[in-house]
Amino acid sequence: MLSKARIAVFVSGGGTNLEALLRAQEAGKIPHGEIVLVCASNPCAYALTRAANHGIPGVAISKKEMPQAAFETALSEKLNESRIDMIVLAGFLSVLSADFVKQWLGRIINIHPSLIPSFCGKGMYGLKVHEAALERGVKLTGATVHLVNEIPDGGRILLQKAVQILPDDTPEVLQKRVMEQAEWILLPQATELLASQIVLEKEHA
């Protein structure tokens, strides 16, 4: 292997999916990629502490403190400085513009806590997704990792995994089960999948 794909992980909160990625990397489950940067849209995000605990550089770029264009310019500067090849959205709650995404087409993956196309779209994130699933009374939910394109929640689905909903589930209990049985498994797998494709492209460039 000539090189590894250099990965930036975008976060906004606690960073449980980031933790899953870092542990997978340390266990050798992302052999074609290397997480070299964590970008948080919230300076108080605990995900930055998780990154530091694993020796990964982290940077906070507060979305609340600047217009969209300035926010994305600041992100791009950090990505360029770290020579990033791909981006993983791991609980990133700030919307990225179509112009930004176009610069990274085929190089951004996102995880959503449902089986897309169910329970996705505007306002559907975090616990709200699980609340909606329980309100609808479905028997199965899960998680989806997809490539990001200019359309929110659009892009080619890479991986999906179903998770059973149990009769006594609360949104919090269901959220934890989806994380443990789907999100923390799928996200490292999809990261390795895209990283391996990027490395192959580099080797044949």
Tracing tokens 């939910």 back to the chain, one arrives at 141
Q: Catalytic residue among 32, 54, 112, 130, which?
A: 112
Q: Could you tell me if 25 and 94 are in contact, meaning their C-beta atoms sit under 8 angstroms apart?
A: no
Residue 112 designated active-site: yes
Alpha helices in the chain (DSSP H): 16-26, 47-53, 68-81, 98-102, 127-136, 171-178, 184-203
Q: Is 191 in a helix, a strand, or coil? A: helix
The residues, ordered by sequence, that sit 6+ positions from 111 with a Cβ below 8 Å of its Cβ are: 17, 89, 90, 143, 144, 145, 183, 186, 187, 190
Task: Just list the catalytic residues.
Answer: 112
